[in-house]
Homo-oligomer: A and B are copies of this chain.
Amino acid sequence: MPPFDIPEGDPFGPHNLPYGVFSAPGPDSARRVGVRLGDHVLDVGAAAYALGSPYAPLLARPSLNPLLAAGRTTWSDVRRALTAWVTVPSHRETIERHFHPLSSVTLHLPFEVADYVDFYASENHARNVGRIFRPDAADSLTPNWKHLPIGYHGRSGTVVVSGTDVVRPSGQRKAPADPEPVFGPSVRLDIEAEVGFVVGGPSERGKPVGLADFRDHVFGLCLLNDWSARDIQAWEYVPLGPFLGKSFATSVSAWITPLDALEEARVAPPERTHDLLPYLDDSQDEPGGYDLRISVAINGHVVSEPPFSTMYWTAAQQLAHMTVNGASLRTGDLYGSGTVSGPTERERGSLLELTWNGRDPLELPDGKRTFLEDGDVVTMSAWAPGPGGVRVGLGEVTGRVSG
C-alpha cells in the first residue's frame, strides 16, 4: 500500500525526508508542512497530532519558519521522530491517512524569506565570465576572488517557488555600439543553476558566526535558479552591482533537504591555491563541500550537468564571511551558492557560458538557443550520494518563461 511500498533505492525514500509546504484539494485548503516520501506527501502536523507527538505544535503550521527557528537539536530530534513514523510498522495505520499523492497537492514557498544573498563561488564560472567580458585581462579572476567569497544582496520579495511562471523582464539595455540606451523586453534572458542554503537559527548583530558553527545555523538546502537578464545587467551593474537584471524573480525548489540527510555527500572542496585568513581557513575542518549532481534541462532536454563538488567556496565559508562584519542572521535567510559550473563545457550552469555569450548556440530538439525564448521551461534537478549507495533526491526547481 502506498506510500509505504516505496521501491528499494527510491531517491525520496525514508533516508531523505525533505520538507515543504503544501495545500490539499478539498474543503480544507490551508497550507501545512509536509514531508516527501516517494511520490506522496505526509501532512506531518496532522500525523504528529495523531501520534501524540510533542512536535505537533511546531509542525502543524503554514510555513517551515517555526521549525527553522527551533534550532539544530530540535531539527535532529524531529528528523529522528519522522524517520520512526515512516519506518516502524506499528505507526503505519495511524499515519497512512495523512499521506497525499504528490500529484494531488499544490506546493508553496516553504518558508518566509528574510534576507536573500547570492554568492559567486564557482571558480570555473567566475573564470568563464571573466574570459567572456574581459578577454584582454591578464587574469580572468578579479584580485579579490581567491581571498573572499564575493556576494551581494538580492530581492527576497521575488523569491518564488518552483512551478511559478517567470515573466520576461523589461528594462534598459545598451550595447557598446548603441548611441543611447533602449528600452524593451530582455533579449538575453538566462538561467543560473545554483544551490540555496536556508538559515534556521538566528544570530546576534555584532557577533560573527564562525566556520565551526555553520550547522547550528543552516538547516538545509534547495535548488535555486537565479534568473538573469544579461542585457539589463550589463548596462546597470557598474559600479554597484546587479539590480534589475536579477530582481524580477529567483526560483527555489519546493523541497528543502535537511543537511542531516546529506552526511554521505560531504566532500572536501577543491584545493586552495591561496592562504586564507583565519576566519575562512577550513583546512583543518571536516569536509565543507557537498557532492550534488545537478542536471539542467530546457523543455525536457538536458543541456548541462554542473557538479556542485567543484565549488571553490563552501557554504560554511560563505556564512562565516557574510557575518564576519557583525551582520546578524534571521530565521528564513536564504543564500545562493552562485552559479555552479564544472570544468567541462557540458557542466556549465548558465546559457551565457554554455553558448559562450551567444556565439555557440545550443542545438535543442526544437531549435537553436542562445538565450531563453518565451514558453521555454527550465528544470533543474539533482541528487547526492546517500547511505548504502542510495541516492538522495533534491526537489526540482522548474519555471516557464512567459512573454
Please list the residues of chain A having a beta carbon within 8 angstroms of any beta carbon in chain B: 114-117, 120, 142-144, 147-148, 150-158, 160, 167, 169-172, 174, 180-181, 183, 205-206, 208, 229, 232, 235-245, 247-249, 275, 277-279, 321-322, 324-330, 333
Q: Which residues of chain B are near A169, meaning CB under 8 Å?
A: 325-326
CB atoms of A247 and B142 under 8 A apart: no
Q: Known contacts A120-B240, A153-B243, A181-B147: does B158 contact A327 (CB below 8 Å)?
A: yes
CB atoms of A205 and B153 under 8 A apart: no
CB atoms of A155 and B325 under 8 A apart: no
* A184 CB, min distance to chain B CBs, angstroms: 10
Question: For residue A116, which residue of chain B has the nearest CB?
Answer: B153
CB atoms of B244 and A277 under 8 A apart: no
* A212 CB, min distance to chain B CBs, angstroms: 18
* A4 CB, min distance to chain B CBs, angstroms: 40
Question: For residue A148, which residue of chain B has the nearest CB?
Answer: B172
CB atoms of A167 and B326 under 8 A apart: yes
Q: Which residues of chain B are near A208, meaning CB under 8 Å?
A: 170
Contact partner, A327, options B147, B155, B239, B241, Cβ 8 Å: B155
Q: Which residues of chain B are near A238, meaning CB under 8 Å?
A: 142, 144
Q: Which residues of chain B are near A277, meaning CB under 8 Å?
A: 172, 181, 183
A150 to B181, CA, bound (A): 14
Q: Which residues of chain B are near A171, meaning CB under 8 Å?
A: 324-325
Q: Which residues of chain B are near A144, meaning CB under 8 Å?
A: 172, 174, 181, 235-236, 238
CB atoms of B147 and A172 under 8 A apart: yes
Centre residue among A116, A160, A243 by max chain B CB count within 10 A: A243
A170 to B277, CA, bound (A): 13
CB atoms of B154 and A153 under 8 A apart: yes
Q: Which residues of chain B are near A329, meaning CB under 8 Å?
A: 157
Q: Known contacts A157-B114, A172-B277, A279-B183: does B244 contact A325 (CB below 8 Å)?
A: yes
CB atoms of A240 and B325 under 8 A apart: no
* A327 CB, min distance to chain B CBs, angstroms: 5
CB atoms of A248 and B325 under 8 A apart: yes
A153 to B158, CA, bound (A): 12
Q: A116-B153, A160-B205, A240-B241 are in contact. List 10 more A-B contacts (CB 8 A).
A: A147-B180, A147-B181, A153-B153, A153-B154, A157-B333, A158-B205, A170-B324, A171-B324, A205-B249, A237-B240
CB atoms of A328 and B241 under 8 A apart: no
